[in-house]
Amino acid sequence: MADQADKTSQQHETLVVRHVAIVMDGNGRWAKKRKLPRHAGHKAGVNAVRRTVEACVELGIRTLTLFAFSSENWGRPREEIQKLMALFVEALNKQVPELNEQGVRLTIIGDREQLPADLVRQIEESEAMTADNDRLNLVVAVAYGGRWDIVNACKCLARQVADGELSVEDLDESHLTAQMQLAGLGDPDLFIRTGGASRISNFLLWNLAYTELYFSESLWPDFEQKELEAMVGSFHERERRYGKTSEQVSGDHA
């Protein structure tokens, strides 16, 4: 029994949450419950982002990837989209200096060709300001879709093959991973979706292959550090087998 307990303990020691990915769902419903316009919910969501960034720094998490605006969100009412774009610019102006002081590096992923020019300029300036920081990688997905990410990566590889830089026979998963938007940051260990829905909504389809999934009933503006801490604690109790048997996993750490 003692030997088995030691094996379990050693296994849990290897389960470190380095990368958390979050679908921040529920802003609109949060506002509706309070008889406020949807935009008020999005503004409240910015405060939840700030709390979550601070919590990740405190917990020693290295990368936090947030789904802020999807490829499909372009189908929302025009007025809401315009307000969201303006909110992104406002949030960058207000929050990036604070992120920089905290040692947070900001990276925006997604199809920038779809974004307003003023937002793209603000993104580039914000990324440059925080480029040397290494306390936390904050990745925000804007105009992003998991299918778009995969297709875009395939196009990059197709160009390399066409240019003679790479042969079709040599292509493997590592080549595609290197062209994905999260290249160099590692796959998420822990995925969280707030708002009560149990789906990933076209987010990081390639990268979530072996990620542990958690679905929260909390609306995003209500998401608190204690809930993140509970999910991280639960993660440590899980067994990540990557296709192996439990006996093999235990043996790996014996």
Active-site residue set: 25, 73
Long-range pairs, 211-215, Cβ under 8 A, ≥24? 211/21, 211/187, 212/238, 212/240, 214/190
Say if residues 107 and 19 touch (Cβ distance below 8 Å). no
Closest CA to 144 of 74, 70, 73, 204: 70
CA distance 62 to 19: 6
Query: Based on the number of CB atoms within 10 Å of its own CB, is 177 exposed (0-12), middle (13-18) or buried (19 or more)?
Result: middle
Whole-number Cα distances in Å, 199 to 11, 59, 192, 203: 29, 26, 10, 9
- Tokens 């990915």 sit on residue: 21
Closest CA to 235 of 210, 209, 214, 219: 214
CA distance 69 to 111: 11
Mind spelling out the 3-state secondary structure of 107-146?
EEECCHHHCCHHHHHHHHHHHHHHCCCCCEEEEEEEEECH
CA neighbours closer than 13 Å in the CB half-sphere of residue 249: 16
Residue 146: φ, ψ to 5°: -65, -40
